[in-house]
Structure 1
Amino acid sequence: MLARVELVGTQFGVGSPDIPLPASLRIANDGFSCTSPSVQGNVTQVCCFKDSNAPPSFELEDQEIFQPLQNGDISIMYDVIRSYESNYLAQVTISNQNPISRLDYWHLSWEWMRDEFINTMRGAYPFIVDTNECIYGRQGEFYQDLDFSAALNCERRPVIIDLPLDRTNDTSLGRIPFCCRNGTILPPTMDPTRSASIFQMQVYKMPPDLNRTQLTPPQNWRINGTNSPDYQCGPPVRVNPTLFPNPEGLSSETVAIASWQVVCNISRSKSESPKCCVSFSSFNNESVIPCNTCACGCKPDPSDMCSATTQALLLPSQALLIPFDNRTKLAEEFSRNNNWKMPDPLPCPDYCGVSINWHLLSDFKDGWSARMTVFNWGETDFADWFAAVQLDNAMPGFEQAYSFNGTALSGTHHTLFIQGLPGLNYIVAERDGKNPRKDPRVPGSQQSVVSFTKKTAPGINVIHGDGYPTKVYFNGEECSLPSMLPSDGHGISAKSVLIYLIASFVTVFLQL
């Protein structure tokens, strides 16, 4: 892209011996680099080329057209709330806008484009405190009187993490609204007051940006978390200055000096494996359709000769409550009693840290019910857990979840949002049984019955598909679903599976 700028001497006095020509020219906000001026008569010409590597530069006195705020899975606001000649105070707000996704132990990073560095912070902290690049670089030469031992980070790409809860009222690091959640950002459908994180930082600038109005946001933003989806972030976009409540508590608002928005959306690759899986069972079928073989990816072990392609074995219901390695005896006995041939080699495990059993409990003329059980086979406890269950045709008939807090997800007609009740919102990790020497390990679990009516969902066929989820999410991660239903002809009798699950579940609690 090429731009030509002409300065006519009769209008601007260019070429007059009293007014020197500029050595170079720069077009603000567009990242143009310009050649030295050339004079032909009373016209001075300057050629400017678009520099793709140059970051946009913003002069606050420019009458810029602000873009409207955009929606995304994550919205990040970069607000300058105070500005000085050599530094400014920025407030960063991370907001979760996805109704069924969350971030745990979030890590936020960006790239400084004009040698900025972080001097102080409140509400968050650099993952690495490092000022060597400043001490040995241009920053140290320019800010010779600045104590860099008290500064925080001079990396071109700093990584920022949240502070623990006990720093909330820390007079030097905390006391910022929505700070210090230990990196957890919940979905707004679960708790709007915990769906955002905020921190502030003092950013020092370098020449030639030493004036109050020369402000450039960092570029190339990234955000991720532990057991959280991957996000793809767009560039910062200049938006209308954010309005903040008056810090003195007055009935007025304070306007940010400048504001940019970064929108990040979940990016899932086709090769990415789920982290949870679902099994199906029904009152009219004795066998359980387990999680698929290698549902969460296969982890080949030379000493374990299992098959990654063999279909998972149908199981008796009591097998759901013991680890996969202890199920072989039950599966063999179950197959032998039903004259089924055991495959050789046996199928590999599902390798999922979380499994969810959806069991059709009853089906009557006017209504039906299901029981949902969440098993935690991993090594990490789940605090403030939640799940989302998509029922394409049956959801209009939802009535109540008895041991969970179940609500219809706002804006949809087919998704049930589920979370633990107060005091039951914590699922512990897998642990030893009552007698570790002979008892198998025990998963952490939560269970509830969910009831539905057919009056507002007439014509549904519960047993043959409408009573089973078409999608299930746990803590924002989509789970793997079985490849068949209990009604697909793979069962053996109409003997109820209810007695087995209740007896087994009671056994687990007796061992605690």
Structure 2
Amino acid sequence: MQIYFNFDALFFFFPSEAYDALDPSGNITIKWDVRTWTPDGYVADVTIYNFQQYRHIQAPGWTLGWTWAKKEVIWSMLGGQTTEQGDCSRYKGNIPHCCKKDPTVVDLLPGTPYNQQSANCCKGGVISSWVQDPANAASTFQISVGGAGTTNKTVRVPKNFTLKAPGPGYTCGPAKIVKPTKFLMPDGRRFTQAMMTWNVTCLYSQFLAQKTPTCCVSLSAFYNDTLVPCPTCTCGCPNNLTHPGSCVDPDSPHIASVVSDHGKTNSLAPLVQCTSHMCPIRVHWHVKLNYKEYWRVKVTITNFNYRMNYTQWNLVVQHPNFDNLTQIFSFNYKPLTPYQNINDTAMLWGVKFYNDLLMQAGHIGNVQSELLFRKDKSTFTFEKGWAFPRRIYFNGDNCVMPPPDAYPFLPNSGIRKNVSLIMLMIILLLSVAFHFGHV
């Protein structure tokens, strides 16, 4: 593989682009390299690079589409295939792989015969995020195009690129001709150059991806008995009459048959456990312990979706104390610095072969870890919700936080003093009673 390289809304959406405040330069780039000319066109390598730090393309994978500028056809492909052949009736003998004006391409599956593969293909369309697994952050297929022209002056770039990964959410800009890519030969001593190269940049918008949120956050703390749940109806309502049967009661004796029956229909639509929030994913942040020099947090991610095992899940958390993170247990960690030198954002993900798979809803449908922070005396406090995160993303989507006025509050100093005085009086009375009882 060759790779070149407050609680307000997190995304600002414009007609043709999207912006992620915690990954401002993240995008998916489609690079189209014309490697050789043929009698009626060219052979090209098409590579999809995921330059997003934490948002990956999960199963069932990417789907790439475009519209030809002229009357091009696809003679053959390696490492990918079109979903339809189209009308090739005008051809006799040698029939093209696809004759559609607007072809749609998907990746091949693992285990594809070697003679049908291209370099860095055949992963079922799954592409990892750039930070989590850079070695698998790209996908490539090779395409032989006819009726396209055979020189830089006669070839026309395709139009109207679309990317679904696996559903909507990405908006792609126009193809732009760029400086031809250079490729290092296998001997490592010589470079070759593409005949022609163009790039397409695609940006993600959560608003386009789904109408409702996909995750929520609940909160608790050792210093308060209040459990702050996810806001009611965050991702939908359990008694929604327009979507009957959209959730499953975990205590139902027929739960196994319900889940299996629904699994035969639309595998992309979540089938969630009935809760007050109706979200597929809940993240719980618990302020667990307070030491003299440190404080400790427990993070639990629970999967309420009966249709999804989240492979290579990740969590992005923004909190001002991440610059003082001392230790993290059972999760991987990498600091992100979207605001230059301010280290207040962390990316967390599971340890391979241990907890990198977040199982579907059920008694094992959760993963958890603990974070140990060193106290910064200039900023540390448990008051006014400071110990709770500012933002949380799950798999790149912004999770809904409870309203700040509902956070578990720290009892004020007056209450703490009164409690301490009462305890002191009880101790003194017990001491007096003990003394006179043994005189």
Normalised-by-shorter TM-score class: 0.7 to 0.9
The aligned counterpart of 2:94 is: 147
Find the partner of 2:156 among 216, 241, 258.
Answer: 216
Find the partner of 2:115 among 156, 172, 175.
Answer: 172
Instruction: Please list the CA deviations of residues 23-62 of structure 1 after superposition, one character each: whole Å capped at 9, or x if unmatched.
Output: xxxxxxxxxxxxxxxxxxxxxxxxxxxxxxxxxxxxxxxx
Distance in 2, matches of 1:303 and 1:478, equals 25
Cα gap change, 1:74 to 1:395, in 2 (>3 Å): same
Cα gap change, 1:454 to 1:381, in 2 (>3 Å): same
Find the partner of 1:399 among 300, 319, 326.
Answer: 326
The aligned counterpart of 2:394 is: 474
Cα gap change, 1:375 to 1:257, in 2 (>3 Å): same
Distance in 2, matches of 1:265 and 1:304, equals 31
The aligned counterpart of 1:182 is: 124
Find the partner of 1:293 among 228, 232, 252.
Answer: 232
Distance in 2, matches of 1:302 and 1:260, equals 49
TM (norm. structure 2) is 0.75
| 2:51 is the counterpart of 1:79 | no
> Which one-letter code corresponds to 1:396 in the other structure?
D
Instruction: Please list the CA deviations of residues 164-194 of structure 1 after superposition, one character each: whole Å capped at 9, or x if unmatched.
Output: 2222xx23211x2321122111111111101
Cα displacement (A) at 1:100: 1.9
Distance in 1, matches of 2:233 and 2:285, equals 19
CA contact (8 A) 1:72 1:263 kept: no
Matches within 5 A, 1:382-393: 382-391=310-319, 393=320
Find the partner of 2:365 among 441, 444, 456.
Answer: 444
> Which one-letter code corresponds to 1:108 in the other structure?
L
The aligned counterpart of 2:107 is: 162
| 2:190 is the counterpart of 1:262 | no
- 3-state SS of 1:135 partner: coil
CA contact (8 A) 1:86 1:211 kept: no
Matches within 5 A, 1:321-470: 349-378=276-305, 379-391=307-319, 393-412=320-339, 413-423=343-353, 424-431=355-362, 442=363, 444-455=365-376, 458-470=378-390
> Which one-letter code corresponds to 2:170 in the other structure?
Y
Cα gap change, 1:355 to 1:451, in 2 (>3 Å): same
Instruction: Please list the CA deviations of residues 452-486 of structure 1 after superposition, one character each: whole Å capped at 9, or x if unmatched.
Output: 1114x732223532221111111111111112311
CA contact (8 A) 1:84 1:211 kept: no
Cα gap change, 1:72 to 1:409, in 2 (>3 Å): closer
CA contact (8 A) 1:78 1:261 kept: yes
Distance in 1, matches of 2:330 and 2:114, equals 41
Cα displacement (A) at 1:280: 0.6
CA contact (8 A) 2:106 2:125 kept: yes
Cα displacement (A) at 1:348: 7.3
Identity %: 28
- 3-state SS of 2:207 partner: coil
- Larger mean CA deviation between 350-359 and 410-419 belongs to 410-419
> Which one-letter code corresponds to 1:177 in the other structure?
A
Cα displacement (A) at 1:213: 5.0
CA contact (8 A) 2:336 2:347 kept: yes
Cα gap change, 1:281 to 1:355, in 2 (>3 Å): same
| 2:219 is the counterpart of 1:280 | yes
Distance in 1, matches of 2:249 and 2:407, equals 21
CA contact (8 A) 2:382 2:410 kept: no
TM (norm. structure 1) is 0.64
- 3-state SS of 2:384 partner: helix
Distance in 2, matches of 1:420 and 1:97, equals 20
Distance in 1, matches of 2:378 and 2:332, equals 25
Report how many residues are paired: 356
Q: Give the gaps of 5 or more residues in structure 1.
A: 1-69, 306-322, 327-346, 432-441, 495-512
Distance in 2, matches of 1:211 and 1:251, equals 28
Distance in 1, matches of 2:236 and 2:46, equals 36
Distance in 2, matches of 1:160 and 1:463, equals 53
Cα gap change, 1:116 to 1:414, in 2 (>3 Å): same
Cα gap change, 1:201 to 1:71, in 2 (>3 Å): farther
- 3-state SS of 2:157 partner: coil
> Which one-letter code corresponds to 2:214 in the other structure?
K
Q: Which has more radius of gyration?
A: 1
Cα displacement (A) at 1:414: 1.3
CA contact (8 A) 1:103 1:224 kept: no
Distance in 2, matches of 1:485 and 1:211, equals 64
CA contact (8 A) 1:74 1:264 kept: yes
CA contact (8 A) 2:107 2:121 kept: yes
Q: Give the gaps of 5 or more residues in structure 2.
A: 1-23, 252-273, 417-439
Structure 1 runs of 4+ with >4 Å offset: 210-213, 323-326
- 3-state SS of 1:193 partner: helix
Distance in 2, matches of 1:188 and 1:303, equals 39
Cα displacement (A) at 1:258: 0.4
The aligned counterpart of 2:169 is: 230
The aligned counterpart of 1:203 is: 145
Distance in 2, matches of 1:124 and 1:488, equals 57
Distance in 2, matches of 1:399 and 1:177, equals 41
Distance in 1, matches of 2:27 and 2:125, equals 17
The aligned counterpart of 2:408 is: 486
> Which one-letter code corresponds to 1:466 in the other structure?
W
Cα gap change, 1:214 to 1:257, in 2 (>3 Å): same
Cα gap change, 1:77 to 1:258, in 2 (>3 Å): same
